[in-house]
């Protein structure tokens, strides 16, 4: 009897671990660390080169701008920016560069960084939702 209990507890533990591993695989919200610090750093650099002539990073910080995207997915946001910016030459940057800039914007809104970088094929599966906050650490 006691033995059965122990193996049931063990089995439960294994199940819980398997579940949490598979949950990490499908990062479905911007709240779950979908970009890396390094990517945001690159995005900041690109923003400085391509956007700073017309925009201050503060324009897109603290949730005011992100809030308008709540309920959409990251692909919507990347494609919108790609098709409109820089205003004098939309689509000039590489697609991955726009994704990096969006990672920087996420950091500007206090969204958590994680281990992996955002890549194009995953963007549609990443849901945009608050809460947003102050710019994260650099």
State the residues that interact with ligand HEC by CB under 6 A: 50-51, 53-55, 81, 85-88, 93, 101
Q: How far is the CB of 20 from ligand HEC (least distance, A)?
A: 35
Q: Are 60 and 108 in contact (CB under 8 A)?
A: yes
Which residue lies nearer to ligand HEC by CB, 18 or 92? 92
Least gap, CB of 40 to ligand HEC (angstroms) = 13
Task: Work out how close the CB of 113 gets to ligand HEC at its nearest, in angstroms, rounded to a whole number.
Answer: 19
Q: Which is nearer to ligand HEC, 10 or 54 (CB)?
A: 54
Q: In b/e form, how buried is each residue of 57-84, taking b as 16+ CB within 10 angstroms?
A: beebbbbeebeebeeebbbebbeebbee
Q: Which residues pair with 29 in a beta bridge?
A: 127
Q: How far apart are CA 104 and CA 72, in angstroms?
A: 18
Residue 3, C-beta contacts closer than 8 angstroms, at least 6 positions apart:
none
Question: Minimal distance in Å, beta carbon 33 to ligand HEC?
Answer: 22
Specify the residue, 93 or 118, whose C-beta has the smaller distance to ligand HEC.
93
Q: Which is nearer to ligand HEC, 19 or 106 (CB)?
A: 106
SS3 state of residue 133: coil
């Amino acid at each position: 009897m006691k033995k059965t209990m122990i193996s049931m507890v063990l089995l439960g533990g294994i199940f819980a671990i398997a579940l949490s591993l598979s949950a990490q695989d499908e990062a479905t919200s911007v709240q779950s660390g979908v970009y890396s610090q390094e990517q945001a750093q690159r995005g900041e650099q690109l923003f400085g080169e391509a956007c700073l002539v017309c925009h201050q990073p503060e324009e897109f910080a603290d949730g005011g701008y992100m809030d308008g995207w709540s309920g959409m997915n990251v692909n919507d946001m990347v494609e919108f920016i790609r098709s409109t910016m820089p205003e004098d030459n939309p689509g000039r940057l590489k697609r991955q560069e726009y994704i990096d800039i969006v990672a920087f914007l996420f950091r500007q809104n206090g969204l958590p960084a994680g281990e992996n970088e955002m890549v194009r094929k995953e963007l549609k599966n990443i849901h945009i939702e608050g809460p947003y906050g102050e710019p994260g650490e650099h």
